Amino acid sequence: MKHLLLFFLLLPGLAFAQVADNFTDGNFTTNPVWSGDVASFLVTAQQLQSNGPAVTGTQLALSTPCQAVTGTVWEFWANLRLATSSGNLADVWLMASQSDLKATNNSGYFVRLGGTDDEVSLFRKDSTRTAVLVIDGLNGTLSSSTNNLVRVRVTRTTANRWTLERDLAGTRTFVAEAAQPIDATYQRSVAMGVALTYSSTNGRNFYFDDFAVTDATAPLLVRAVPFDARQVDVAFNEGVATPSATLVSNYRLQSGAAPVSVTPSATNPAVVRLAFAADFPAQSVVEVRNVADLYGNVAAGPLTAAFTALPVAPAVGDLLISEIFADETPPVSPTSPQSEYVEIYNRSATKTLSLRGVRLGKGSTATVAVFADTAKLLPGQYAVVCGSTRVPQFVGYGKVYGPTNFPSLSNGGDQLILRGRDGRTLFEVTYSDSWYRDARKKDGGWSLEMIDANNYCGGAENWIASTDASGGTPGRANSVRATNADATAPTLLRAVAIDALTIRAYFSEKLDSVTAATIGRYVLTPTATITRAAPVGPDFRQVDLTLSAALLPSRPATLTVQTATDCAGNASGALQSATFALPEAGVAGDVVFNELLFNPRVSAVRFVELINRSNKFIDLQRWQLGNLKPDGSVDVDLLSTGPLVLAPNQIMAFSTSTAILTSQYPTSSDATNLVQLSSLPTFPDASTALLFDSRGIEIDRFMYSKDLHLSLLSTQEGVSLERIRTNGPTLGSNFHSAAGAVGYATPGRPNSQAQDAAGGNQDWTVTPEVFTPDDDGQADFATLNYHLDATGYAASVTVYDALGRLTRRLTRNETLPTTGFIQWDGIDDRGHKAAVGYYILLVELFRPSGGEKREYKKTVVLGARF
């Protein structure tokens, strides 16, 4: 047997390689080094012999480092010169997780010689558990009481198939056990060796020789497991050697990408980690070439392993809400969904998105629906999200999630927000039922679908009602999908001083939050230092600017934005500006009703317009519009929950739909002065409109009725009442029907019937001297303006034609303020338009306290346009 050569192959950078020891050197302490109970073993006649104490139940162990695992052959010679039993046996460990073979939590594989059945068998040890038979050898194989000679060979293929062979003559005429099981439980080893158990008379009766561990097979690539978006762990079936295993050129993806670094595992020699410069696509294949195992066997390759990229947390623009089904009744067809839902979409072509901790909620409530840790979306995949009890209704549509606290979707409109686990806003949409663009579909049963997913920041222009016959496309591509790119740059709408040190800039669309935070994009005049620019989520249409010095109340300043970039990348031109000032509290009469439309056309909306006639900047936040009801109660609605500042002489019109308002009055409205409210008081044909400040104090009231309208109108529908004199009283006499030439209303624009010029300095003047009551917005009525020298006068004003015939009694003994005007719209006492010609306005002025009487005559011409 001593023809065997002792070899110990050392590879660069490795401490141990293949193992062989036939003890011809007379020791077991070098080449290789055995450790453990070294005092209880010796080498006798070039064989390893036990030399333990004569104590029953003694356990001895001796091990040597060995990392061989698969594609390996283990061979040894043994002679147990004793009768084997459960208390007299030898375990030859082929693979052990610890060098201390007696450790109770050791794991691996060993060959048992002897035992109760006097056999040669292969066992697997799973930590502290009882050993498990892998190959049950033939009973009675080792039946001698004095000479149990055997040579054992165990083979483990790279496919983890085990073969156990024996030769009871100690030569190499092996007989294999019939069983050849597959067992891949353990893929790592640190040691091999022998462990003995014996009674008191057998301490010197165990002999071993010719240990040989041979690995002649090249390493195999077992798997590739992504560690993160750019790193992947490559695992071999056995330990691999430096430097070949860490050479960057030995690895690549089939896509052509090469790693930037290769790092061996500190705990497992069979694993290396590859790092790449870019994120992995959804599916990848790694190729390996010219990697050697610990024993010099080289795998020329290519070896390949496919892997799927790990789900990653969604970034902005990855995860979208692509469909909204807010109104399920009436159903379009029997197959239509019967519950609210939203559809989410993974816009990425390469990333699998982890939805772990992603939150779906509304801007109006803190309650959110949270996706489960296991939720994910593949690249380009859709999923339906609905209430937790409604999931069965949607399983036929594909992937569906039913998180707890799914938000109730308002039919008229709502703000929906997707936030990441870290709280970042991933997607926001504030939809409205006007987005359907179809009055029939708006009534229910149809979903709103996003047109172009690449224009995910878009609002109303990128959404429309579904065109699918079932009313929607849950879980699949939208029926309305089309290219609809955003090519419009953002504009600065206005700036508002939130407080003395904070300015809020409002923009027309969502901004890129990174560039919007650049302080250098903003300039304040008069000069003031801006110390911080903070985009306001979740929609990023506002930016809060922090100042180093406090603003003074109602001192106008100008904010200039050098450039603004929307989230689609469109950049505005330079130097957009807006004037603002720190607002002050308004008092009664500062802000007044300027225009009122209480009788809108069919399918149109009412509106109320206010004007600030003070020299103060006034914040309308939490101010209320009200309507006095017949029972004395007041129906009120908030003008704004956030800052909304009216500058001196600025007008602002409020309605429930700015889109409808601008479509009804396309040439006479100004969108920059229109504000959309969720609700507005229902103003009947005759009532009192009220305006309250944030403390509930009345600021103005307007007692109106349809009788204030020009009687010549063919219809009053869609015709507003406009204030004539800004500084005049909020009385019916100071309002007139809007001109037909401008479409019968001017929401957000100066009034068509405004007449703030009071005329000359005489006591009584007529403006204009020639008027044409044809409702064209040009000199539609005449005003008799007056300035009195004292209070307490009462007046009667009568209109006569050129022949002295009574035409119209304008006032009768009406008490007058010291300044004001009286209006004549060209209508006679019968409600007919007076004839073209000259007219005399007879003013009879009487002062009861002093008995003073005065009389004035003024001439006016009622004309006509030809």
Provide the pLDDT for residue 757: 61
Provide the pLDDT for residue 281: 87
The pLDDT tens digits of the residues spanning 68-103 come to 899 999 999 999 999 999 999 999 999 999 999 999
In sign, the C-alpha dihedral spanning 402, 408, 411, 417 is: negative
CATH architecture of 591-742: Sandwich (2.60)
Domain with CATH 2.60.40.4070 in the chain: 764-862
In this prediction, residue 791 has a pLDDT band, given cuts at 50, 70 and 90, of: low
Domain with CATH 2.60.120.200 in the chain: 19-215
CATH architecture of 764-862: Sandwich (2.60)
Q: Write the CATH number of the domain with boundaries 221-308.
A: 2.60.40.1220
**CA neighbours within 13 Å on the CB side: how many for 504?**
15
Give the β-pairing of 852-862 and 770-771.
Answer: parallel
Backbone torsion region of residue 178, taken as left when φ is above 0, otherwise alpha when ψ lies between -120 and 50, otherwise beta: alpha
Domain with CATH 2.60.40.1220 in the chain: 221-308, 492-580
The pLDDT tens digits of the residues spanning 417-453 come to 999 999 999 999 999 999 999 999 999 999 999 999 9
Provide the pLDDT for residue 12: 33
Taking 60 as the threshold, does the pLDDT of residue 5 lie above it? no
The pLDDT tens digits of the residues spanning 140-193 come to 999 999 999 999 999 999 999 999 999 999 999 999 999 999 999 999 899 999
Q: Write the CATH number of the domain with boundaries 319-465.
A: 2.60.40.1260
19-215 topology per CATH: Jelly Rolls (2.60.120)
Provide the pLDDT for residue 849: 66
User: Over the Cα atoms of the chain, what is R_g?
Assistant: 47
Residue in the structure block whose two tokens are 């660069």:
12
pLDDT, averaged across the chain: 92
- Cα–Cα distance, 404 to 368 (Å, whole number): 8
Omega of the bond leading into 643 within 30 degrees of 0 (cis): no
Domain with CATH 2.60.40.1260 in the chain: 319-465, 591-742
- Cα–Cα distance, 110 to 117 (Å, whole number): 16
Q: List the one residue out of 833, 841, 855 whose CA is nearest residue 811.
A: 841
Share of the chain above pLDDT 70, in %: 96
- Cα–Cα distance, 442 to 471 (Å, whole number): 11
Which tokens in the block code for residue 650?
Answer: 């600025």
In this prediction, residue 740 has a pLDDT band, given cuts at 50, 70 and 90, of: confident
- Cα–Cα distance, 112 to 99 (Å, whole number): 18
In this prediction, residue 648 has a pLDDT band, given cuts at 50, 70 and 90, of: very high
Residue in the structure block whose two tokens are 């011409």:
861
CA dihedral 536, 537, 541, 542 (to 10 degrees): -10
- Cα–Cα distance, 775 to 781 (Å, whole number): 9
Q: Write the CATH number of the domain with boundaries 492-580.
A: 2.60.40.1220
Higher pLDDT, 865 or 732: 732
The pLDDT tens digits of the residues spanning 97-123 come to 999 999 999 999 999 999 999 999 999
Taking 80 as the threshold, does the pLDDT of residue 9 lie above it? no
Cβ pair 601, 624 in contact under 8 A: no
